[in-house]
Every structure is written in structure tokens, then in C-alpha cells.
Structure 1
Amino acid sequence: MRMPAGEVHAWERGTNQTVCGLQLSRQGLVRFPHVTWADAQPATGRDADAVTSVCRRCAAGTGARRDEKPWRRVNPRP
């Protein structure tokens, strides 16, 4: 069974583009309808062994939590 690898984008059934607006055919992206978005997440997904990164715009479009930012504010005011 094929699994996603590399950079992962979210895709909704019935459309020919990703959630962030990239066209699947022009970008050379492949659909994996048997894999859910939660299973493609590198931190918790079971099908994400070869996933290197997740598109931030697609993650935001699918309802990723805002507190999952990779940065943290330290001493916001001098």
C-alpha cells in the first residue's frame, strides 16, 4: 500500500487542488484517499514514517491549533 512521503498537503475529496490552493496535476502531487489527514501528521500519525514536513497553510485550513507554533516569545517587553 502506498503512503505519503516528503512534504504533505491536505486534499479534500471531489476537488483537484489542495486546501492551500495548489493544483494537484500541475504540482505533480499524488492523492492518497485511504490516508486521513490525522494519520499523515509526523508527530502522531501512523502513516507518516516518510513525511518530512507538513504544509502550514494546509494545516491551518484543516483546523490545526494556533498554539502549535514552532516559535515561542521570550521577554516580550524590555
Structure 2
Amino acid sequence: MARPRRAAVAATGSWIDPDGFRSPAGEVHAWLPGTNQTVCGLPIKKSGLGRFSHIDWSDVQPATGRDADRVASVCRRCLAGMGQRRDDKPWTRHDPRP
């Protein structure tokens, strides 16, 4: 099965940003619009997740996202389903030992 290229966001909470837009908060999951579950397999309605079809998955990543102000955690299974690899480290070694 091919990995999805673009996904929207489903989250456990929401808040209104200063511009008046509804943004995700809490734990976020990748969601493909038109389906009733997240990329990791959680059912949206039964899990109590809110849908944010106007926000892309890349915009809620804490390191680079513009809508990640109140994101507490990102689902690791959704990250893997969207293509992030386990060996992608958030750090780099600047002065390695000989």
C-alpha cells in the first residue's frame, strides 16, 4: 500500500488562535479526508477526535509547524504511516570523536 502524500489533522482538543481560526490541541493524528479513521487506525468518532480538514499534517509538527502551538504530542504510528522513519534523529552530531 502506498503512503499517503497529504493528510489533514484529527486532534483530541481545539482552541481558537488570535486570527479567529480553529486549531488543533492535545494529541494529534494524521487523517485522510473521506475516511472515518486516522492513518494509525483509530476511529474518529469513537475516539472523540475533532477533525481539522483545513490544516495539513505538516503544519502540526512541533519542530516546523505553524499550527503546533498547543500540540502536546504527535501519534508515532501516524508519523510512521506518513513516512517518517525510525532512524530519523532530531539531533545531529557536530564534533564526532575520532
TM-score, normalized by the shorter chain, greater than 0.5: yes
Q: Which has the higher contact order (CA 8 A, sep 6+)?
A: 1
> Which of 59, 66, 69 is the aligned partner of 2:86?
66
Structure 2 letter corresponding to 1:48: A
Q: Deviations over 1:1-58 (max 9, x none)?
A: 1111111100001100000000000000011011100001011000000001100000
The count of residues paired between Structure 1 and Structure 2 equals 70
RMSD, aligned α-carbons? 1.3
In structure 2, distance between residues paired with 1:69 and 1:27: 30
For the residues of structure 1 that align with 2:88 and 2:69, how far apart are their CA atoms?
20
Q: What residue identity is the alignment partner of 1:7?
A: E
Identity %: 70
**Deviation at 1:64?**
1.1
- Map 1:5-16 → 2, pairs under 5 A: 5-16=25-36
Change (3 A) 1:69 1:55: farther
Separation (CA, whole Å) in 2 of partners of 1:17 and 1:55: 13
What does residue 2 of structure 1 align with?
22
Distance 1:23 1:44 in 2: 27
Question: Which structure's residues are more often strand, by fraction?
Answer: 2
Give the TM-score normalised by structure 2. Answer: 0.67
Instruction: Tell me, in whole angstroms, the C-alpha distance in 2 between the residues paired with 1:29 and 1:69.
Output: 29
